[in-house]
Amino acid sequence: MFVKKRSRQKQAVEEGINFTAMNNDFERGAGPKRFSYEALVLATNNFSNEKKLGAGGFGNVYKGFLINMDMAVAVKRVSRGSKQGKREYMTEVKVISQLRHRNLVQLIGWCHDQGELLLVYEFMSNGSLDSHLFGKRRPLKWEVRYKIATGLASALFYLHEEWEQCVVHRDIKSSNVMLDSGFNAKLGGFGLARLMDHEMCGQTTAIAGTLGYLAPECVISGRASKESDVYSFGVVALEIACGRKPVEEMEDESMVRLVEWIWELHRNGRTLEAADKKLGLEYEVREMECLMMVGLWCAQPDPNLRPSIRQAMRVLNLEEEMPDLPNMTVLMAMNQVPLQAAHSNSPSVTNTCLYMGR
């Protein structure tokens, strides 16, 4: 008991040192600012249920208004006692505070005070992409969908190639793609991200992410990389085009994987049959084909056959020809992933940060 108590005390001291170091680093910069707990209590009406925007595995998100900045914000409140939540909080502040891109959610500030861990983001008035694709909102028009796909590709290109270090996001999914008032895509959810030098970015880091979006090699080998980010992007691209989730339960209780389903249609020359029925015929055929083909290209089971995000983006921008994908049955290595796990709606985390469902 004495040893355990000393261990907890040591951990608390180390966390205090880490938080102090974070304060010193960021308060010297011109980026996100530190907020007092009282200011965020005021902004969110004491974190009232009426202000709640959503809930996740490690906390809740509230809408707030900063009077002195005349700004609507989203405040993420990490659940007390969540060790993974603390780790993701530290990572998010360290990583996203350094990034500046029009297609990334902007971190306005942070707070760790009175035992609370809070992150303050710009408010995204149109919510998350998945809420539009699968919720009860009015279906997104095609031109909006295509703009979202190209915006997400631009964000990932910045992370992988344009910024001074390579950022492997590790959790790209439609619920982490936020939409502003103009339906511009902004990638968030950087709690699992990893920074690497560009010359090291071809190497891999520990597995993390959400089943259904995870590349097969991640599940098999337990490693993530730029290539696995590209796979996840491909799944989201197919969601946008088809309006279907990565894994769906059918009426006969069988499970259908989106990637496998579209590969089968493509093999039979029927790719366009996968287009979201909610669109009717209100879409550009060339763009629909392009988005689906890029999605399949990125979501190939073999990471060596996937494009870089630069290549995928150039095709989406119609600067290069669409890829010539094989018209044959593809051996789907993701069969290693249990369908029941991938379909589960209950968010849970293992010690490798593997999420089940959304």
Tokens (6 digits) for 340:
């029941």
Reduce the DSSP state of residue 113 to 3 states and report it: strand
3-state secondary structure 178-232: EECCCCCEEECCHHHCEEECHHHCCCCEECCEECCCCCHHHHHHCEECHHHHHHH
Reduce the DSSP state of residue 248 to 3 states and report it: strand
3-state secondary structure 159-178: HHHHCCCEEECCCCCHHHEE
Q: Are strands 107-113 and 166-168 parallel, antiparallel or unpaired?
A: unpaired
Tokens (6 digits) for 79:
């659940």
Say how far apart CA 324 and CA 322 lie, in whole Å.
Answer: 7
Say how far apart CA 177 and CA 232 lie, in whole Å.
Answer: 12
Q: Are strands 354-355 and 209-210 parallel, antiparallel or unpaired?
A: parallel
Scanning the structure block, which residue is given the tokens 């550009």? 284
Q: In this structure, are residues 172 and 233 in contact, taking their beta carbons and an 8 Å threshold? A: yes
Q: What would you report as the CA-atom Rg of the chain, rounded to the nearest whole angstrom?
A: 21
Helix (H) or strand (E) holding 142: helix 142-157
Tokens (6 digits) for 214:
């995870």
Backbone phi, psi, residue 81, to 5°: 85, 0
Closest CA to 212 of 277, 263, 256, 155: 256
229 is catalytic: no
Helix (H) or strand (E) holding 26: helix 2-27
Looking at residue 127, the DSSP 8-state letter turns out to be: -
Q: Which of 25, 113, 171, 229 is catalytic?
A: 171
Q: Is 51 annotated as a binding residue?
A: no
User: Binding site residues, as ranges?
Assistant: 76
User: Binding site residues for ATP, as ranges?
Assistant: 76
Residues labelled catalytic: 171
